[in-house]
Structure 1
Amino acid sequence: MKASLQAKMGQSMTLTPQLLQSIRLLQVTSLQLEQELHQILERNPLLEQEADEEEPVSAGDGDDAALEAAAWDELPEPMFLSGGSHAGDPDNDATARIAAGESSDPRQRLLQQLQLRCNARELAMAAWWLDCCDDRGYLEGDPFDLARHGAMQLADELPDADATALLAARQRLLLEGDWPGMAAADPRECLLAQLRTLSASDARALALRIVGEQLETLARHELPALARQLDASPAEVATAVALVLSLQPHPVEQPPEPEPAFIVPDVIAWRGGGGWQVRLNTRSAPRLRLCAHAEQASGHAGMRGLLDEARWLLRSLGIRNETLLKTARVLVTRQRAFLEQGEEAIAPLTLKEVAEEIGVHESTISRITTGKYIQTPRGTLELKRLFAVRLEGAEVSGAAIKAMVRRLIEDEPAHAPLADEVIAAMLARQGIRVARRTVAKYREQLCIAPARMRRRERGPAPMARLG
């Protein structure tokens, strides 16, 4: 075999530890940043904390770091960030250490996963079943009754989605989804679905019998009784029970984390000087600077690395603060009507629109707004709250329409509750054309009962609620 040399051109980028730090600092919360900076202060003697001031934080002299970090924004696909060539091993992705900042809504996380392998029809039916589930992933009703109701509700959108097709879609969600047992009717069905996804074995076969036939005995921890009723040895029962106990008690893989006991706003917005003013909350994290003797210490070989680390950290903090401030200013400017008038005035706004206005990549805006809060006269809000999806065929956001639906129902006559189609017609007269099923979806998300139930249950309260 004849050896030869070939020249190839390729695009690659090596993520240095410093650049990874810059990217990570974009997405840490105020409390995380404060803890990390205190640890760095203890570790690096060339840094010191500035006195607290109520002045806006600027990026300082972070131009060099900004130029290097800007390369991150220009890379649309994680494949380029593997630390090697474009054809590098995707399993060796250097960005895997960076949290993606997923939605806390399990329904949204699961739908994003299903988009990879489901067509639009299958996805719509799966979304309908997920809407029928509680926070744990269990159905809120009998599957057959829900399927019949769903076939009627989806008749306009999916004419061929009858009750049989919907039940088949639930079965796929139950057994073939990323979270086995999702949309289960009860814990027994959830556990059986998880067991059926495991490899065949004697322990699995016995576990299926235990869950299917003797779940009450298992709940009482009566293992000798299980062995007698199943005609199995105590050791076999113990192995099967251990397999059952290793399963998820409910379909949702990771329940939402509890809300923090308190929130430290990252940004403060207020009206003043003839308009809206925005500044960073400098009390949410310590402000650092180089010590007076830092430059003299650079002559020490052991201190040179600490000085480089300190300089890069200050530049990274400058990039973070400048990006956060610019993003907050755009959000406040674009959502001024919402801040002044309320929910019904929230405008459609996407990550991409903000990114284009600031001149960064969409992923940067996603990271800098995740877990960050802004203090406003309307209350302390998560920055993500200021984004809103434009409803198809309308010039307003879905969040604004939901607020309008709430107001119309709150103001409806007590003796004549408004049906969904009436609300849709009232919105159409305001130039907002939405389907009746869209109104029904928003009403259900607001936990408001249908008109016929509100008429029966109407009392002193402004509106009846489900649950």
Structure 2
Amino acid sequence: MKATLSQRLGQNLTMTPHLLQAIGLLQLDAIRLEQEVRRVLDSNPMLEACEDDPVDGAEDCIEIDAEGPIGHAFERTTMLADGESDDIFARLPAGESTDMRLNLLEQLALRGLAEDDLALAALILDHVADSGYLEVAPEHLADAARTAGLAAERIEAVRHLLMRCEPEGIGARDVRECLAVQLAELREPTPGRSLARRIIEGHLELLASHDPLRMAKALNIEPEQAAEAMAVVLRLDPRPGARLARSADAVVPDVRIEPGRRGWRVVLNRRCTPRIRIDPISEQLLDRCDRQPGTDTLRELLQQARWFARGLCTRHETLLKVVAAIVEHQQAFLRTGAGAMAPLTLKQIADAVGVHESTVSRITTGKYVQTPFGTFELKRFFAVRLEGAEVSGPAVQSMVRKLIETEAPSAPLPDDAIVVLLARQGVRIARRTVAKYRDIMGIAPARERQRRGRSLACAH
């Protein structure tokens, strides 16, 4: 019995080299795919890079009819030329569309920043060093703002909002300001916080010694208190820009979504994936030789080239179909933004495309898509689980914002009430999650909103 079962499993799960290669290609992001294609081109003389007539056979684009039913047959279009004038990848400087920078601007947009303030935030980010610090003199930044037609007097206000975004501290002028912002943004009760603030303000040089006795003497406190406060500071990140720099190096959109003839168009980013084809002269010569001695190695290379080309074709076609299926389900997002992102599961896309969920998971992990509202990891379009309900995170934030926007100024909704109202709409989340979303969007607690409402009423 066990032997028979083992044999069946062995037969069903046989992983041939070309199947392993095809699965591996599915998992590669744009940068690693480019590296792999170039490696194979260097090692296999049967393959060559080309501008036209690629051997992989995959089209570069799929059209999605905005009025068509979900699950309609994908319509293929002709390949897009490399020199296409509307290719946004050709116009984007390196690092400009990185996910981390866009995420920072997104967070500010969720806090309701005006368009000019968002432009100022982008300007500040352009002058942030790899460390995360703003290393340009205030007067130079003000000059740059005025040159761009922006209000220089708003720079500091916008910079302080930017520093409160995740990762906290981006845009700080020095390590003290960076750590102070992170300390202030700690939301959980933190023993030793007030002493940690004193260390940041005047005793950072002692922190490097990791000596609680010296720190205790400097602060006139007990060594145990000093050790606790030092631990708080050491948990903070003195170089928050490291994540920004890693993102800038790593994120290249694999595909883009743009307006098409009847709806939307899903386009491969061919600029980071060289087209390949089998060398036609070598292929013809091998066909004529017909098993002559000394050709076995070349025939093996030719077979490997064909396998690689098929794997590349599968990767491109699967990516296009998966993103096209996502577009069909997320058209409201493409029209209005992240607040309209619909709940979506891997199974829904797998069923629409006709592949296994694991294939959808592989093709969306680590892949990025350029949309009219910024660059996102494909995984972001799928539902997150919130206390038992599968709902899009950005959509829940939008629901929280709308509830607060429609509340009575004299009786603002506390977080507990928002939890109840969301539950009536089928979304079950914890009170702390509501508080987290409020913080992300820059919305004050109910008590502060009520105080502001009273102040406005008195003013009138």
Counterpart of 2:4 (choices 2, 8, 13) is: 8
Q: 1:217 to 1:426 in 2, by over 3 A?
A: closer
Is 2:282 aligned against 1:287? no
Whole-angstrom distance in 2 between the partners of 1:276 and 1:343 = 17
Contact 2:383 2:391 in 1 (8 A): no
Whole-angstrom distance in 2 between the partners of 1:370 and 1:9 = 33
Whole-angstrom distance in 2 between the partners of 1:272 and 1:58 = 19
In structure 2, what residue type is equivalent to 1:329?
Answer: A
Counterpart of 2:266 (choices 238, 263, 278) is: 278
Matching of residues 47-196 of structure 1 within 5 Å: 47-51=47-51, 58=58, 141-142=188-189
Whole-angstrom distance in 1 between the partners of 2:44 and 2:404 = 59
**Match of residue 305 from structure 1:** 300
Whole-angstrom distance in 2 between the partners of 1:307 and 1:292 = 11
Whole-angstrom distance in 2 between the partners of 1:216 and 1:144 = 16
> Aligned residues: percent identity?
47
**Match of residue 389 from structure 1:** 384
Matching of residues 255-270 of structure 1 within 5 Å: 258-261=246-249, 263-270=251-258
Whole-angstrom distance in 2 between the partners of 1:8 and 1:435 = 48
**Match of residue 21 from structure 2:** 21
Counterpart of 1:361 (choices 352, 356, 362) is: 356
Matching of residues 372-411 of structure 1 within 5 Å: 372-389=367-384, 397-409=392-404
Counterpart of 1:349 (choices 344, 356, 373) is: 344
Whole-angstrom distance in 2 between the partners of 1:382 and 1:215 = 43
**Match of residue 335 from structure 1:** 330
Whole-angstrom distance in 2 between the partners of 1:280 and 1:332 = 14
In structure 2, what residue type is equivalent to 1:374?
Answer: V
Q: 1:443 to 1:140 in 2, by over 3 A?
A: closer
Q: 1:391 to 1:287 in 2, by over 3 A?
A: same
Shift of 1:446: 4.9
Deviations 1:27-53 (A, max 9, x none): 111111112211221221111112169
Shift of 1:316: 0.5
In structure 2, what residue type is equivalent to 1:351?
Answer: L
Contact 1:59 1:319 in 2 (8 A): no
Deviations 1:135-164 (A, max 9, x none): 99x986546899xxxxxxxxxxxxxxxxxx
TM-align CA RMSD: 4.6
Q: 1:282 to 1:145 in 2, by over 3 A?
A: same
Shift of 1:456: 6.7
Whole-angstrom distance in 2 between the partners of 1:259 and 1:409 = 34
Deviates more, 1:379-388 or 1:45-54: 45-54
Whole-angstrom distance in 1 between the partners of 2:332 and 2:434 = 23
In structure 2, what residue type is equivalent to 1:290?
Answer: I
**Match of residue 44 from structure 2:** 44
Deviations 1:158-203 (A, max 9, x none): xxxxxxxxxxxxxxxxxxxxxxxxxxxx9xxxxxxxxxxxxxxxxx
Deviations 1:89-111 (A, max 9, x none): xxxxxxxxxxxxxxx9xxxxxxx
Shift of 1:283: 2.1
In structure 1, what residue type is equivalent to 2:373?
Answer: R
**Match of residue 438 from structure 2:** 443
Q: 1:143 to 1:268 in 2, by over 3 A?
A: closer
Deviates more, 1:286-295 or 1:445-454: 445-454
**Match of residue 110 from structure 1:** none
Is 2:366 aligned against 1:371? yes
Q: 1:40 to 1:457 in 2, by over 3 A?
A: farther
Q: 1:455 to 1:262 in 2, by over 3 A?
A: farther
Contact 1:46 1:293 in 2 (8 A): no
Contact 1:53 1:282 in 2 (8 A): no
Secondary structure of 1:58's partner?
coil
Secondary structure of 1:259's partner?
helix
Contact 2:31 2:250 in 1 (8 A): no
**Match of residue 117 from structure 1:** none
Structure 2 alignment gaps of length 5 or more: 61-99, 101-167, 170-178, 197-209, 216-233, 290-294, 454-460
Shift of 1:413: 8.0
Shift of 1:286: 0.5
Structure 1 alignment gaps of length 5 or more: 1-5, 61-103, 105-133, 147-185, 187-213, 220-248, 459-467
Whole-angstrom distance in 1 between the partners of 2:351 and 2:192 = 47
Q: In proportion to residue count, which structure has more helix?
A: 2
Contact 1:388 1:397 in 2 (8 A): yes
Contact 2:391 2:427 in 1 (8 A): no
Q: 1:367 to 1:428 in 2, by over 3 A?
A: closer
In structure 1, what residue type is equivalent to 2:49?
Answer: Q
Shift of 1:332: 0.4
Deviations 1:279-325 (A, max 9, x none): 32222310111011232454512212211111110010011011101
Contact 1:391 1:397 in 2 (8 A): no
Whole-angstrom distance in 2 between the partners of 1:142 and 1:439 = 18
Deviates more, 1:393-402 or 1:406-415: 406-415
Shift of 1:439: 2.6
Q: 1:47 to 1:217 in 2, by over 3 A?
A: farther
In structure 1, what residue type is equivalent to 2:323?
Answer: A
Q: 1:15 to 1:349 in 2, by over 3 A?
A: same
Deviations 1:399-449 (A, max 9, x none): 3111222355578788875422444466578x4565672533533565655
Q: 1:33 to 1:428 in 2, by over 3 A?
A: closer
Q: 1:444 to 1:345 in 2, by over 3 A?
A: same
Q: 1:311 to 1:358 in 2, by over 3 A?
A: same
Secondary structure of 1:8's partner?
helix
In structure 2, what residue type is equivalent to 1:291?
Answer: D
Q: 1:46 to 1:408 in 2, by over 3 A?
A: same
Deviations 1:332-365 (A, max 9, x none): 0011111112223211111122112222221211
Deviates more, 1:364-373 or 1:9-18: 9-18
